[in-house]
Amino acid sequence: MTATTFFAKAGMGRKTTATALVAKDGFSARYDLDRLRGIFSRPEHRLAGQSYVGRVLVLDAAKGGVATAWMLRDMKARGVIPAALVLNAANPIMVQGAAFADFTMISGFDLDITQAIPNGAMVEVDPAAERPFIRVLPE
């Protein structure tokens, strides 16, 4: 694989391909999202106003409280969930939420993944590979 492939320390869920939505900011379902409209709603968030539905979110770190662990499953049931979450640093809540919702997540890179993935790029995320990875697909 080429330099457009970036390996993570851990992964969970299923292989997925979608458009990346990238920001050097955190992620919390409760703090940051309007889960009815499917958009980032916290005004200070760098993705405020943008839809997260069906996107591979490439963000810095898991933030906020424990609610995301319940919320990801409900978001999935209502069809307002990202395609995957790619984080520099996960916290246990994101891991627990992903496990409960059967949601795709990878985390832990040797570089700042939010600087490595272009916003709007089509990406492939494979959490089940021997070394979980995110890959930028050719245009």
Partner 1 sequence: MRLSDQERAMRAGELGPAAQWAIEHQVKVGDYLGAADFVPVSQAHIMADTESLGIAGVEWLERIASLPWDQRRVRIPAITDPRGTDFAAAHRLKQQPWMLELERRAISAFEAIGILMTNTCINYQTIMAPLLGEHVAYGDTGVVIYCNSVCGARSNFEGGPSALAAALTGRTPRYGYHLAEHRRASLLVEVTYTPGALDEWGALGGIIGRIAGDYWQVPALAGIDRIPTSDEMKHFGAALASYGSVALFHIIGITPEAQRESDVLPHNATIATHRVGEAEIRAFQKRYSDGIDRVDLVVFSAPQLSLLELQRVAALLEGRHATIPLLVVTSPPVKADGDRLGLSSQIEAAGGTVLAGMCFYQSYAREMAEANGWHRLATNSAKLTNIIGGYGYKPALLSMEACVTAACNDGRIAR
Rule CB under 8 A: which residues touch partner 1?
A: 10-12, 26, 30-34, 36, 41-45, 61-71, 73-78, 89-93, 95-97, 99-100
Question: Least distance from C-beta 84 to partner 1, angstroms?
Answer: 15
Residue 35 or 135: the one with the smaller Cβ distance to partner 1 is 35
The token duo for 128 is 């089940």
Question: Least distance from C-beta 138 to partner 1, angstroms?
Answer: 30
Residue 105 or 117: the one with the smaller Cβ distance to partner 1 is 105
Question: Least distance from C-beta 121 to partner 1, angstroms?
Answer: 25
Question: Least distance from C-beta 78 to partner 1, angstroms?
Answer: 7
Size of the chain in residues: 139
3-state secondary structure the chain: CCCCEEECCEEECCCEEEEEEECCCCECHHHHEECCCCEECCCCCCCCCCECCCCEEEEEEECCCCCHHHHHHHHHHCCCCCCEEEEEECCHHHHHHHHHHCCCEEECCCCCHHHHCCCCCEEEEECCCCCCEEEECCC
